[in-house]
Amino acid sequence: MATLTVKDFGTLENGQKIQHFTLDSGNGCLVGISEYGAIITSAKYPDSQGISDEVTFGFDNLADYVNSQGSFGTTVGRYANRIGGAQFTLNGKTYKLEPNEGKNQLHGGANGFGFQPFKGTEVTTDNGVAIKLERLSPDGEAGYPGDLIVSVTYTLSQANVLTITYDATSNQDTYINLTNHAYFNLDGIADDGSTSVLDHQITLNGSFIVPIDAESIPTGEIRPVDNTPFDLRQPTLIRKGTENPDAEMRQVNNGYDISYIVGADDGKMKIHAYVKSAHSGRALKVVSTQPCVQFYTSPHLTKTALQDGKTVNKYAGFCLEAQDYPDGPNVAHFPTKPLRAGDQYHQVIEYHFISE
């Protein structure tokens, strides 16, 4: 039977107390969730031998999340990925956003959703134990228009499927693009800093990528993956791509950091990717309503301290961030649409934790 436990996680500088929730599938899978940042702090499930281990990156305490410069497990918003020039035009008005990566905005700015407190409430579902995290993003936060009421609901089923449901409404037209930024390594996190995903095998169901310029802003092109190291439609070792001398791969430090187009933003669930490790026998399937997925293989990590005193380096983890088109508000032929005042934003991501 799936269960939920709650504990105090710490106190913010303003005196606000933060809770931490642990979802237990009752079938070997444990997922930790923090009210701060609506963060996935931990994910543990058995390997093929029944040995459970930590498979995502996180920290031991609240202070480390508050002081972090990364996005380990965070809920990313208001707009995931990058917005070129940190601005967009909507209804004839140009909105200046908070730049936090040169002149551009990344993941909603330096004080995006991953660095904001949510309020958690246990909810009852037919599919498993769940925690619903809510916050009000006020009009003008990081430059975005509209009072946005947003909720992120994490549900863990007895089948070891973690479902993330995003809902939001705004009193003004605005743009929103929410995702989770969990880093995964299906072999667990090594004690000696040698953690790597290069021998993980990935199948990613994207026939097109969204190429980027030197500042990681989309060029506006939509390019087929055929005959490139970005073609992952058949099972492929991650190292096969990172070791390819492709110019775009070198541009991101010989690693994947690119958005794939998986399908339409039609509300239908689509299998984005399937990753497995022959070493541990663990696999992860990502299914989502979102049209795109950003595949990232952490090519820039260097001696980064995580939970339990462990340290990770380049290629230690992978991210599969199901989301809308990067810089979607600024590229006219991208199908990104604003959230209209009073309408409902609704997207779903599933992580299937599998032991083979």
Catalytic residues: 181, 321
Residues paired with residue 53 on neighbouring β-strands, in sequence order: 45
| Tokens at 100, concatenated | 């936090």
User: In sequence order, what are the beta bridge partners of 296?
Assistant: 257, 319
Spatial separation of the C-alpha atoms in residues 172 and 180, rounded to whole Å? 24
Contact 349, 162 (CB under 8 A): no
Reduced 3-state DSSP string for the chain: CCEEEEEEEEECCCCCEEEEEEEECCCCCEEEEECECCEEEEEEEECCCCCEEECECCCCCHHHHHHCCCCCCCEECCECCEEHHHEEEECCEEEECCCCECCEEECCCCCCHHHCECEEEEEECCCCEEEEEEEEECCCHHHCCCCEEEEEEEEECCCCEEEEEEEEEECCCECCECEECCCECCCCCCCCCCCCCCCCEEEECCCEEECECCCCCECCCCEECCCCCCCCCCCEEHHHHHCCCCHHHHHCCCCCEEEEECCCCCCCCEEEEEEECCCCCEEEEEEECCCEEEEECCCCCCCEECHHHCEECCCCCEEEEEECCCCHHHCCCCCCCCECCCCCEEEEEEEEEEEC
